[in-house]
A = this chain, B = another copy of it.
Amino acid sequence: MKRYIFVRQLIRDRGVRLTAQRELVLRRALAHLHFTAEQLVEDVRRVDPSVARASVYRALALLHELGVVEKHDFHYGAPNYEVTEGKAHHDHLMCTQCGEIIEFQEPRVERLQAEIVKRYGYQLLSHTHKLYGLCPACQRTQKPHSAKPPALHVTEMVS
């Protein structure tokens, strides 16, 4: 709820209108951990079917510009989005079979990244760091993995 209020303010501060559609997209995005754009479209339209697909994409792009949402390309299936606003920085570990995603933090890696870019005189802007593997359960039951995104888990209901 705190994040919700905060992001609404961010939207206003950016000078664009805080419309019902943008609020709805924000609320539904906050209700998930990792989601694809199309999952979000469906989810939003389940609440209000009159919202256009393009509006969801536009709102998502706005949230991305505001630094509220990040885009992750886990290689297996469509890109995922995540509301990272207010969350500590983390990287991801994904099971290529069942699609489970684990968020982890490793400050030692982050320090090495800074050191690496210094070698080349670069100014570091962002990074992606994703580990792919088999979770303990899938290590036993070996099957060819599906390219489908894992089912959406609703993790939180925001008002």
A-side interface residues toward B, CB under 8 Å?
A: 71, 73, 75, 93, 95-96, 102, 104, 106, 108-109, 112-113, 116-117, 119-136, 139
Contact = CB atoms under 8 A, between A and B. Distances in A.
Given A73-B73, A109-B109, A109-B112, A134 B128 contact: no
Contacts of A120: 93, 102, 104, 135-136
A123 B133 contact: yes
Contacts of A121: 135-136
A122 B104 contact: no
Contacts of A96: 125
16 contacts: A71-B75, A93-B116, A95-B122, A102-B120, A106-B112, A108-B112, A109-B113, A112-B112, A121-B135, A121-B136, A122-B133, A122-B136, A124-B131, A127-B131, A129-B129, A129-B130
A104 B128 CA distance: 15
A55 to B, nearest CB: 22
Given A73-B75, A112-B109, A117 B130 contact: no
B108 A134 contact: no
A129 B109 CA distance: 10
A139 B122 CA distance: 8
Given A73-B73, A93-B117, A116-B106, A132 B136 contact: no
A132 B127 contact: yes
Contacts of A133: 117, 122-126
